[in-house]
Chains A and B, each alone.
Chain A
Amino acid sequence: MDEILRVSHLQKKYDDFTVLDDVNFTVKKGEVVVIVGPSGCGKSTLLRCLNGLEEIQEGSVLLDGAVVNPNKKDLCKTRERIGMVFQSYDLFPHKTILQNVTLAPILVKKRKKEEVCQEALALLKRVGLLSKKDQYPRQLSGGQKQRVAIVRALMMQPEVLLLDEITASLDPEMVREVLDVVLSLAKEGRTMLIVTHEMQFARAVADRMIFLEGGKIVEEDETKSFFEHPKTDRLKQFLQTFTYEDL
């Protein structure tokens, strides 16, 4: 498989505080990589660096050979190729659902409106929200909003999709509907980099797992052995916090 994303020696600091320290990994085309780790370990910051939302101090992020850097003029061009969905509902409140998902392709890719709308309707139908197309974000539940946010990112036909804890602020019963969408995307071979706390989901969706702690990659492995045969003590401890012993 071809490599699509390469992160090498990435370092990110807020003033004196090092958030990410010498992070190295690659993602191949069609691969789903899930990043887990305790809160505050830098997972979200890492995803934001990949999309040029944060300045990095050292190292590099390469998308298919092109440098992702917030100070570069053609950042918009690179960002078109990387989609991102955030934890908080970030739909545009003044636009309808259909306008939310078609705005960027029409504006940024200068594509024809009719063509974009058709594609949008097909995707909305797929996530079960076709009937909501003319409603406004405030009329939707959290889970529905996140599904729209995924569609909005997909509409740019990104080569890589970054999902940053997209179920973290949802009510439990809405988590499933969003994760099902992500699972179906994985099945059709989308390249995705996912940060999540849902371990069951991670196990189901990931090809490869990365365990991040204190801004460093502590362990990286195929999904099966990552969960079944963790090598480091840190990971063992971390995985144990998600299981309950019988009383």
Chain B
Amino acid sequence: MGFDVLLKGNNLIRLFGGLMVALRISLISVAISILLGIVIGMLEAYNNKVINAIARIHLEIVRIMPQMVLLFIVYFGATKALGLNLTAEASAIIVFSFWGVAEMADLVRGAFASIPVIQYESSFSLGMSRLQVYVHIIIPQIIRRMLPLSINLITRMIKTTSLVMMIGIVEVLKVGQQIIEANRKSSPSAAFGVFATIFLLYFLVCFPISVFSKYLEKRWEY
């Protein structure tokens, strides 16, 4: 059924290499999203009208526009409009971060808003300083609210990396296509085996992360 082709030469290793490209793009984007998202989310907590309006528009763009369209805009559009020569991978990281920052910032904002004022007041009334209140009371609660959802964002990013082959990045799907192409004669049904394997690979990466996210959500529910 075409699974044999994977055992030929270094095909399986190449496939894993492709998966690593996908994971690298998503992990870099996730790191940027978390860092910038927290900063912007905290800025939003100050309720500055301009910052909040920009953040709101940013979030709406991300919610409505398919990531694929954003990839096209950055990859094809930026080159044309700004004369920038972005590599496909850089474009992908920009788009994924643009998306992730909007969602993370919204999560942080929501998490701050969901902490009742009484948590601050009762901490203050125990004589804690502002710093102590944030470090020991507020931030741990915010992390507990945010973490399951941000892990969920990681799996969505990993899944969405499959799109980057459409702007020419050689990731796992593209490698799969190359393998199928190269072995067209010797194993004509390679497409089934290779794509089934990629299907399974994505599942094996994303499923444990989803389970972990659900576990955290249950554990930290109050």
Contact = CB atoms under 8 A, between A and B. Distances in A.
A/B contact in complex, CB under 8 angstroms: yes
Interface of A: 48, 51-53, 76-77, 79-80, 82-84, 86, 88, 90, 92-94, 103-104, 107-109, 136-138, 149, 152-153, 156
B52 interface: no
Contact of B126 (A53, A77, A138, A153): A153
Interface in B205-222: 220-222
Interface string B123-149: 111111100100011001100100000
Nearest to A48: B121
B137 A84 contact: no
Contact of B124 (A53, A94, A103, A149): A53
The B interface, classified by DSSP as helix, strand, loop or mixed, is helix
Nearest to B132: A107
Nearest to B220: A94
A90 B117 CA distance: 9
B122 interface: yes
A88 B137 CA distance: 17
Interface string B173-208: 000000000000000000000000000000000000
B134 to A, nearest CB: 12
Given A92-B137, A107-B132, A137-B222, A80 B122 contact: no
A93 B124 CA distance: 16
A193 to B, nearest CB: 13
16 contacts: A51-B124, A76-B128, A76-B129, A77-B127, A79-B124, A79-B125, A80-B127, A84-B125, A90-B119, A90-B122, A93-B141, A94-B140, A94-B220, A94-B222, A103-B136, A156-B127
Given A103-B136, A107-B132, A94 B126 contact: no
Which of the listed residues B116, B122, B126 has the most CB atoms from chain A within 10 Å of its own CB?
A: B126
A149 B124 CA distance: 14
Nearest to A84: B125
A75 B179 CA distance: 70
B132 A108 contact: yes
A104 B121 contact: no
A108 B125 contact: no
B118 interface: yes
A100 to B, nearest CB: 10
Contacts of B144: 94
Most-contacted residue by chain A among B122, B136, B144, B220 (CB, 10 A): B122
A108 B157 CA distance: 42
Interface of B: 116, 118-119, 121-129, 132, 136-137, 140-141, 144, 220-222
B127 A108 contact: yes
Which of B124, B129, B144 gathers most chain A CB within 10 Å?
Answer: B124
B222 A76 contact: no
Nearest to B137: A92
B127 A76 contact: yes
Contact of B136 (A82, A107, A149, A153): A107
Given A53-B121, A90-B118, A108 B128 contact: yes
A186 to B, nearest CB: 20
Contacts of A107: 128, 132, 136
Contacts of B128: 76, 104, 107-108
A166 to B, nearest CB: 12
Contacts of B136: 103, 107
Central interface residue in B116, B128, B140, by most chain A CB within 10 Å: B128
A104 B123 CA distance: 8
